[in-house]
Amino acid sequence: MKFIILIGPPGAGKGTQAKLLEESLGLPQVSTGDLFRYNLKNATELGKLAQTYMDKGELVPDSVTVAMVKERLARPDAANGAILDGFPRTTVQADVLDALLAEMGGHIAVVPHIVVDREELVQRLLKRAQIEGRADDSEDTIRTRMRVYEEQTKPLLDYYAQRGLVVEVNGQQCVETVQQDLRRVITQAA
């Protein structure tokens, strides 16, 4: 059971790249953002709970997120592992993931860090707001999401770097080149 954890700020292209990796790796993309948006669209209890946090660009509480991920990873398509996109995002979530993987007999193969500079990210997110109309791509929310990333998610890079798992990938290249780099990094780690 092999897990790839994509880490990068909002707008780095994690979702795009994870989708492209699905087929070549034969592992499903597990995106907590997508799972929350699905629940929101279907007005489930979980969706209603997540909405207030998502609208503000804040993180949904760990307990809620962790329960959702556990349920997702128990599905048959994740029997060989997954490409994690947007999870873990806090050190608490990373600890829970470690415990879960120990229980399931899984391991983290590599943690690609998709690096994109701040100016480029804001431009990309504003553009995405126009195209996809994602409610959390407004300017204020983008600022909050960037801050949340810096404060809560970036520390994870140290956490995984200490285990020698982090490899930087330049996210400021075209989609195809980023994909090639990711595949190389993942193959080398396997």
The set of catalytic residues is 14, 89, 128, 134, 145
What does DSSP assign to residue 106? -
Q: Indicate whether 145 belongs to the interface with ligand AMP (CB under 6 A).
A: yes
Instruction: Decide if 58 contacts 144 (C-beta within 8 A).
Output: yes
The nearer residue to ligand AMP, 86 or 106, going by C-beta atoms, is: 86
Q: Where are the alpha helices (DSSP H) in the chain?
A: 14-25, 32-41, 45-56, 62-73, 91-104, 118-132, 139-148, 155-161, 175-189
Q: Indicate whether 124 belongs to the interface with ligand AMP (CB under 6 A).
A: no
Q: Indicate whether 59 belongs to the interface with ligand AMP (CB under 6 A).
A: yes
Site for ligand AMP in 72-101 (CB under 6 A): 86-87, 89, 93
- Choice from 30, 60, 116, 125 touching ligand AMP (CB under 6 A): 60
Q: Indicate whether 57 belongs to the interface with ligand AMP (CB under 6 A).
A: yes
d(CA 51, CA 58): 10
Site for ligand AMP in 20-49 (CB under 6 A): 32-33, 36
Q: Residue with CB nearest ligand AMP?
A: 33
Select the span of 52-60, 76-84, 154-162, 177-185 touching ligand AMP (CB under 6 A): 52-60
> Minimum distance between the CB of residue 92 and ligand AMP, rounded to whole angstroms?
10
**Nearest residue to 36 (alpha-carbon basis) of 13, 3, 59:** 59
Backbone angles phi, psi at 124, to 5 degrees: -60, -45
- Choice from 9, 10, 81, 106 touching ligand AMP (CB under 6 A): 10
Q: Indicate whether 54 belongs to the interface with ligand AMP (CB under 6 A).
A: yes
CA distances (Å), origin 94, targets 5, 89, 108, 127, 143: 10, 7, 11, 31, 24
**Residue 136: count of CB within 10 angstroms of its CB:** 20
d(CA 41, CA 49): 12
| Binding interface with ligand AMP (CB under 6 A) | 10, 32-33, 36, 53-54, 57-60, 65, 86-87, 89, 93, 136, 145
